[in-house]
Chains A and B, each alone.
Chain A
């Protein structure tokens, strides 16, 4: 019986750890299949045990439901209990931007608004219409105020591609603002990461206190409410995280239409992951429903950014179509979406001299995005004429000439490690301000794991070979095995300059159980984050309307003259001194041998009995005696 319970408990632990995965992924990949089988296999015997009548062991027993006709009258429809119809809303859009490098940047955005009175605590029942239930439960259980999570494969090449609509670092990034009613923020954070790792099939459960920081200034809430107490903020990155189909499937499942209709039909994982850059994100925040902000709602934004390298795969021809990129075409909008649009960036092609876009559309839209006024061709999927006679929309773009050079992005940052040997090193962070005449401040945030021990006295900030004193420094030193270093600085970047920040570090020796399975690969250090209000070339749109395209309305704009931008550097890969891992056993063997040899001779010395022995005559004497015997002379004694 004990053994039975023990096996059952193991199965239970397996099941509990997989329950979230199972519930969410439909086209299960990899390991999920096997766990699914385990679940059903361990489910079945429990029912069979007690059921003598069961015919098929693996099947549930279905029974028809008999109900006596409900004798009760209609429910007392008290007029007091008639909630106003909810104003849930769903929008979807796809922006396609031909990049100067010849690559294609496709950015999906889906926005779900959940009209719910979320300030009210202790609500017993919750009702989900368009908003996914799994995320809604997470929000209320962990008292989350704002949640941002991104999974990125590849590095965004700012110098070639310009700025993305929403930047994200390689690997996984998670930052969460909790409500200020939460008493145990760390406990909530730990549980939240575990639950999210189940929801997104990612290794977010590796987030613990050793890679979590509380940035004081870099990450402000993007939604409603002006919170400044950063003790309710947690930020963590997993630069090592590999993003693949098993992360995409649960992400797609959060959409009300799934991947059955609308823009999401384009998301075929074999195409999306055959790309130079892939980034998917979920942003949840409270927003206003209208301009006066009379009612509030949860906003769930799901974004997916992909850069396709069609130049090399298309035999050097600069030409793309939707079918080539996604191996699908669009046939309908998601019926639940209030707006469903495809935008193609045609700013560089006002007269059609650069490329030819077919089918042509008369709808043009202008939007101010990242400090620049851009023009877009708009295809509205809710209209039947968009699809033409073929009943499908396959955008096609053929380049005629060579595009000119790209404007250098105004803000750009890189990072590398220098030094030699396995003892010390130096982290270099280089930030470029390419604005010809404006200086502007940036916030640099660095979170370095504890095993790189930063020497903060060696911190230098130089721009134009002169020392640049940061106006604000927030430094929180690491505690071994407890928390990472956190360095935040406000640096003024002179116009048209390169600012270099260096800091030296020493590599720590880890305990042998703390090494990763492949320690010689090196250890990742997450990207630094550069947040800035960059001076804008054109006046930004500050008034809040819902009619803006989604991609231009994510970050609230406070003033006309500048726009908010976040730039991530490369993650670092640092080698740590790595021991020989058979060492412990060798040490045990060696010390045991030494001890045994010492002990053996000691034992011998103590227990051996000593006897006085007649010394045998020396060799010379014996030889002499031998000769004497032969000669017959009396022997020597």
Chain B
């Protein structure tokens, strides 16, 4: 025991006083570095929950594969028995488009060929194409996003002479078979059919233009045609819900007492379309009547037609004063589509709208992309000059709703399809929308949702990565990862051809990503300035660090000096 103390004494006494001071300074510096700095770091850290950065990086380069199921059914009389024997058959074709460095598209058409069943043959024997379409629909319920093509003999009377393809109200098309040589093998027949089938598929499911337009959030457009651009510009952005407001503007309640049966009109015109569109978004509809609402432009009296006219150039100024009174929806933040019916006052009627080439617009209506539409409804010829004021006027809702329905379809992105020559499209009927039109919309909406959600998530991840001050709470991390998983499943479902699921997942993804992006908690510490931090730290850090740094410098210089001395000695 004694020896230990002696050893300690020797050690302690062995070091000189100067060395002791040096060791103390080093020890203090070590404590500050090992304990102090981590402690300070830990206590002033902002909370940042874990985010799936690697998954997000994967989403940054998006490779989408859209697969469409096509079924080609050969009816009796289109194939020789020889060829029929090799049925059924399937064939997969793929097209690849690289949109830009980070976005790639692949379209996969899985075509299955089979001969028609007896029931289908019966259905095809109906007198008209529309009836055949209906009875084929009752036979099989085709799944969302798929296309069925019935090949009918060249001599069939189902279609008029010059019509090659008939597209029905559902997901079926009738194709008049081109002349085959009976010596052809089945593969030759199929390959001769393929261009037609692809045309049908791009009409009934999606075309490359639609998909690239839907990707406009991600990809800067360069060479897309003006028309598809205008279409996609006009349509309101994809959103989980829309508020549709119909407003009747009556600037002159003293002379006109207007009645519109909006309930009945909604029930018979708008609601069927919205019911059909239910898988795409939630819609809420309301209507209001605004009195003393005037347009922002005084219409000019045109002597040649003895009517007031509004030029297309002045239309943009028309809305502003009215818009202030339309009122936004207080109860939700979904985008609003406005449809205004303007009944001009007695002193400014009739009122007509002229287009850019100075011709009267027959519908007397115009629309603004992503905002809504206005229709001017003249009532001056409904009453004589000596009738008692206010005049009771019932508005012809069929006329009005026809215009509003067309505008609504445009705003919702149901594009007018431009079929190739020889195509006949069945008009959508009372539902206002054919099944395949809905499919088209769903294809482009899912791609658009995926594109938007992926840009939102990647830019959020970039932002969080760049600015270290932002607190990332657990709920944000949860939203981000749920957005990422929904995105991944949406992409996978598109790949598998399950359109309905893909749309649903993409909607979930967009909701979660927006909620994460606009979360107010991200802003809390964002703008805590650095100069204030320094002002708080400096009174403590400066007096503490100066002696440590100075003594460390002194030690270093002494060590250097001693080394130099040693070297001089050894020399």
Contact = CB atoms under 8 A, between A and B. Distances in A.
B459 interface: yes
Contacts of B536: 585, 588
Contacts of A183: none
A225 interface: no
A248 to B, nearest CB: 16
Interface string B253-293: 11000000011111111000000000000001111110110
B143 interface: no
B308 interface: no
Interface string A328-339: 000010011000
Nearest to A23: B328
B459 A2 contact: yes
B346 interface: no
Interface in B213-247: 216, 221, 226, 229, 233-234, 245
A606 interface: yes
B211 interface: no
A67 to B, nearest CB: 4
A75 interface: yes
Given A124-B284, A128-B287, A335-B390, A66 B363 contact: yes
B156 interface: no
Given A75-B269, A125-B266, A596-B544, A5 B459 contact: yes
A64 B365 contact: yes
Interface stretch (A55-63, A229-237, A354-362): A55-63
Contact of A128 (B21, B216, B288): B288
A16 interface: yes
A257 B289 CA distance: 11
Interface stretch (A76-84, A148-156, A284-292, A616-624): A76-84
Interface string B371-396: 10101000000000000001000000
B431 to A, nearest CB: 11
B547 A600 contact: yes
B291 A256 contact: yes
A592 B547 contact: no
Contacts of B529: none
A62 B333 CA distance: 24
Given A65-B373, A125-B286, A128-B286, A5 B517 contact: yes
A20 interface: yes
Contacts of B312: 62, 64
A607 interface: yes
B264 A65 contact: no
A611 interface: yes
A258 interface: yes
Contacts of A261: 254, 292
A4 B312 CA distance: 34
A457 B445 CA distance: 67
A67 B403 contact: yes
Interface in B503-551: 517-518, 520, 523, 535-536, 539-540, 542-544, 547-548, 551
A83 B287 CA distance: 15
A315 interface: no
B84 interface: no
Q: How large is the interface on A (under 10, 10 to 19, 20 to 34, 35 or more residues)?
A: 35 or more
Given A62-B366, A138-B330, A25 B324 contact: yes
Nearest to A194: B330
A117 to B, nearest CB: 12
A75 B406 contact: no
Contact of B403 (A65, A124, A257, A610): A65
A607 B552 CA distance: 11
Given A65-B365, A67-B406, A128-B286, A76 B316 contact: no
A589 interface: yes
Contacts of B363: 64-67
A595 B518 contact: no
Contact of A595 (B330, B369, B402, B540): B540
B568 interface: no
B17 interface: yes
Contacts of B456: 5
Interface core residue of A25, A63, A81 (most chain B CB under 10 Å): A63
Given A2-B463, A72-B430, A16 B517 contact: no
A328 to B, nearest CB: 16
A603 B540 contact: no
Interface string A584-609: 01001100110111011001101111
A589 B539 contact: yes
Contact of B369 (A63, A132, A138): A63
Contact of A13 (B264, B315, B518): B518
Contacts of B330: 20, 134, 137-138, 141, 195, 198-199
A319 to B, nearest CB: 34
Contact of B316 (A62, A142, A258): A62
Contacts of B462: 1-2
B552 to A, nearest CB: 11
B253 A60 contact: no
A593 B463 contact: no
Nearest to A132: B327
Interface string A316-342: 000000000000000010011000000
Interface string B402-416: 110011001000000
A127 B265 CA distance: 12
A74 interface: yes
A70 B402 contact: yes
Interface string A13-52: 1001001101111100000000000000000000100111
Nearest to B16: A609
Contacts of A608: 21
B181 interface: no
Contacts of B266: 125
A63 B368 CA distance: 6
A188 to B, nearest CB: 11
A50 B213 CA distance: 10
Contacts of A630: none
Contacts of B327: 23-24, 132-134
A19 B375 CA distance: 25
Given A75-B269, A124-B284, A600-B547, A64 B353 contact: yes
A6 interface: yes
Given A23-B327, A127-B263, A256-B291, A596 B540 contact: yes
Given A596-B539, A603-B547, A610-B17, A53 B226 contact: yes
Contact of B539 (A5, A68, A588): A588
Nearest to A76: B268
B466 A2 contact: yes
B361 interface: yes
Interface in B436-494: 456, 459-460, 462-463, 466
Given A1-B462, A125-B266, A141-B331, A599 B543 contact: yes
Nearest to B316: A59
Nearest to B548: A603
A9 interface: yes
- Return the 8 tightest CB-CB contacts between A and B, nearest first: A596-B543, A75-B268, A141-B331, A592-B539, A23-B328, A62-B315, A592-B540, A70-B402
Given A592-B539, A607-B28, 5 more contacts: A5-B463, A20-B328, A23-B327, A63-B368, A64-B355
25 contacts: A1-B462, A5-B463, A23-B326, A52-B226, A52-B229, A61-B369, A63-B234, A64-B361, A65-B375, A65-B407, A126-B286, A128-B287, A129-B289, A132-B327, A133-B286, A140-B331, A195-B331, A261-B292, A335-B390, A596-B543, A603-B28, A603-B548, A607-B21, A607-B28, A607-B547
